[in-house]
Amino acid sequence: MVLTPGHSVRDAAVDPFCERSGRHFSVHKQILGGRFRFESTSQALLHLVESAYGGLPPHQLPMAGPEFRIELRLLPRQAPPGDADPPPVQVQSGAGLLCGVMDASNYVVLSPGQRRGLVVASEDMLSRPYHLRYELIEFAVFTLAARGMGLIPLHGACVGKRGRGVLLLGASGSGKSTLALHSLLQGVDFLAEDAVFVQPESLLAAGVANYLHVQADALRFVDDGEVRRWIGQAPIIRRRSGVEKFEADLRQGHGRLAAAPLELIGAVFVSSQSAEDPDVLLSPIPEHEIAARLCADQPYAATQPGWHRFGQRLMQAGVHQLRRGRHPRDSVDALRQLLG
């Protein structure tokens, strides 16, 4: 990471809004096809940006990626040390701004029209890097990228081969992360595990392949001892639901990350139910059911511009349901059938 210094002046008497607060640094990252400039007086916050986006393939979309600017500001410690999770983010909008607020010292303010954002965090959040990264910094990055480039933001995973991808959808706990893990281990290109961003017309999908989140019981299907150690030694994060998962860094060389956005050739709803015939895991979803299934699975994305065209294009590509086989490897084989 290269920190580029800048200069400003801090004087509480004349600068109550911290508009010229302290010496600042900046880093640049290519994320989801957009160019992001992160600025901060806190090197700790910029190192967190590096941990999230450093070493990733610089995905580019056919259109010229716009530049986004995000300022990260660190405030003095607010909460006493403890294990309690920070408050959940509450979102609000108005006057062309989008806001995500944990509390008075931890929040995000975004101006999609200006392609700019402000992330404010207190020092105690540095001891909770998952929440700070995932709920504040990624909230800013993902929201600005989706709004600024007209991408459809999806909660799901995506894997592929030779530039072609399959979108993995389904409820939490259906097995998307386990399927993505085993796809990675069997040589399928890994694009994203939790959030996928799609151009509605071209069906080009981009993602951030930084971490994989899997529960401990997923390790029982992993035979490779080195891979088991990689995951088993990873930090454990706790979701807001209370579910605990390993957060394994995908940039440590286990498998192949998609070098460029993938063109979707279809979508698969991953089911937690076992197949009646373990040799037949995939079944096409009737065309008249696809639109309703997609809207029910992606309620936020379904309200965004471009959703109708995205649904049309995905319906033309084909949507299937994938039930579980004897082993996750069988599900990966089924995906390979779609990818050709």
Q: Which of 55, 7, 61 is nearest to 35 (CA)?
A: 61
For strand 34-40 and strand 67-75, is the pairing parallel, antiparallel, or unpaired?
parallel
For residue 227 the two structure tokens come to: 């891979």
Q: What is the C-alpha to C-alpha distance for residues 106 and 149, in angstroms, rounded to an integer?
A: 26
The DSSP secondary-structure symbol of 261 reads P
Residues 92 and 183 in one domain: no
Average pLDDT of the chain to the nearest whole number: 92
For residue 80 the two structure tokens come to: 């006493």
Q: Which of 86, 102, 70, 52 is nearest to 210 (CA)?
A: 52
DSSP 197-258: EE-TTT-EEEE--SEEEE-GGGGGG---HHHHHHHHTS-EEE-TTS-EEEEEEGGGSSS-B-
Residues 130 and 170 in one domain: no
Question: Given 3-state DSSP classes, what are the helix, strand and coil percentages for the chain, each rounded to the nearest 5?
Answer: 30, 35, 35
**17-31, 98-112, 122-136, 322-336: least confidently modelled range:** 17-31
Residue 277: how many other CB atoms lie within 10 Å: 8
Last residue in a domain, options 103, 124, 149: 149
- pLDDT tens column, 151-184: 999 999 999 999 999 999 998 888 899 999 999 9
Q: Let me know: does 117 contact 109? Beta carbons within 8 Å.
A: yes
Last residue in a domain, options 149, 182, 212: 149
Residues 44 and 158 in one domain: no
For the chain, how many residues are written? 340
Residues 197 and 229 in one domain: yes
Residues 42 and 185 in one domain: no
Residues 53 and 186 in one domain: no
Residues 131 and 114 in one domain: yes
Q: What is the C-alpha to C-alpha distance for residues 252 and 234, in angstroms, rounded to an integer?
A: 11
- pLDDT tens column, 86-123: 999 999 999 999 999 999 999 999 999 999 999 999 99
Q: What is the C-alpha to C-alpha distance for residues 87 and 139, in angstroms, rounded to an integer?
A: 15
For residue 192 the two structure tokens come to: 């994203």
Residues 10 and 44 in one domain: yes
Residues 237 and 333 in one domain: yes
Could you tell me the pLDDT band of residue 17, with boundaries at 50, 70 and 90?
confident
Where in the sequence is the domain holding 60, given as residue range(s)? 4-149
Q: What is the CA radius of gyration of the chain?
A: 21
What φ, ψ does residue 186 adopt, rounded to 5°? -105, 20
Could you tell me the pLDDT band of residue 22, with boundaries at 50, 70 and 90?
low
Could you tell me the pLDDT band of residue 15, with boundaries at 50, 70 and 90?
confident
Could you tell me the pLDDT band of residue 9, with boundaries at 50, 70 and 90?
very low
Count of H helices and E strands in the chain?
A: 8, 20
Q: What is the C-alpha to C-alpha distance for residues 245 and 138, in angstroms, rounded to an integer?
A: 18
Residues 174 and 280 in one domain: yes
For residue 17 the two structure tokens come to: 């809004």
Asked whether residue 21 carries a pLDDT value surpassing 80, the answer given is no
Structurally, how many domains does the chain consist of? 2
Residues 145 and 160 in one domain: no
Residues 225 and 168 in one domain: yes
For residue 336 the two structure tokens come to: 């390979």
